[in-house]
Structure 1
Amino acid sequence: MASRKGGSSGGEGVRSLELELEKMSVEQLRAFKEQTDMEVNLLHDSLNNIRTATSRLDIASAALHDLSLRPQGKRMLVPLTASLYVPGTLDEADKVLVDVGTGYFIEKTMADGKDYCERKIKLLRSNFDQLIEIATKKKKVADEAGLILQAKLRQMGATA
């Protein structure tokens, strides 16, 4: 079996789970492991999505900072897509449109736009940390189920 670490309540919970897993049949263990592995994969997908969103917000925050340094009336290239830019003039340097999702934009001051980005980044990082913890626990459960399944299969092979 895998080694265990943790306090008294954590150790008891792990031991309880181990006992429950050992009571399962081989078919139940296989199904449980597959389900847990699928949940771990979904959590990893969510972590990647959060990483991508955080990265985009970091870029947006940096762009707002750069924009705030430009003088009003300054000619510049305006991004329409990631690879398409058109010439434009900075009209109002203190007002920005913030994409709040599903095609909705809100006009905010530059300071409010920066604050919005920072709050969203902080929220995403908090969610990321929580998901890492959950994914780690799920992975340990899946690994434990795999170990018990292997032991049961070896035991069945030895008796056959």
Structure 2
Amino acid sequence: MASGIEKMSIEQLKALKEQADLEVNLLQDSITNIRTATARLDIASSALQDLSLRPQGKKMLVPLTASLYVPGTLDDADKVLVDVGTGYFIEKTMTEGKDYCERKINLLKSNYDQLVDVATKKKSVADEAGAVLQAKLKQLAASP
């Protein structure tokens, strides 16, 4: 691959480096989004664990938004609503809810690892194209 990059023109090298840099930035955004989603699922899984330990009739604060809580009473800790995306919720047992969180976390971790691999390869392409580009520009500037 190095010999192919070294044969490219300055314009081709600039285009390759810009494209690779853009793809690295997009991949890094995706990686950040996966980290955020994984953290939310970890919190949800912990909340389910905590909820499963509370007795029926327990008084608690129920979050309506991130900053608004209302008092409530735990009715049935064995059934939970799971947000499966785009505004859809499915009633599941506590065990099914925990399993759902774990499966989603494992899927996200697998996707995360794949994206990190691709981002690393793209970054090395961008770095190599940048190095060859700099060498060609120096050579061009040194020639009479």
Report the TM range for the smaller structure's normalisation. over 0.9
Shift of 1:114: 0.2
The correspondence for 2:114, drawn from 125, 130, 135, is 130
Query: Could you tell me which residue of structure 1 aligns to residue 71 of structure 2?
Result: 87
Query: Could you tell me which residue of structure 1 aligns to residue 12 of structure 2?
Result: 28
**For residue 127 of structure 2, what is the amino acid of its counterpart?**
D
Query: Could you tell me which residue of structure 2 aligns to residue 6 of structure 1?
Result: none
Aligned Cα RMSD in Å? Answer: 0.6
2:66 and 2:3 mapped to 1: Cα distance? Answer: 53
Question: Normalization by structure 2: what TM-score?
Answer: 0.98
Structure 1: runs of 5 or more not aligned? 1-16
The correspondence for 1:38, drawn from 22, 27, 37, is 22
Structure 2: runs of 5 or more not aligned? none
2:86 and 2:8 mapped to 1: Cα distance? Answer: 45
1:98 and 2:82 matched = yes
Query: Could you tell me which residue of structure 2 aligns to residue 148 of structure 1?
Result: 132
Deviations 1:36-86 (A, max 9, x none): 000000000000000000000000000000000000011100011111111
Query: Could you tell me which residue of structure 1 aligns to residue 49 of structure 2?
Result: 65
Percent identity between the aligned chains?
76
Query: Could you tell me which residue of structure 1 aligns to residue 58 of structure 2?
Result: 74
In structure 1, the residue corresponding to 2:75 is in which secondary structure? coil
Question: Normalization by structure 1: what TM-score?
Answer: 0.88
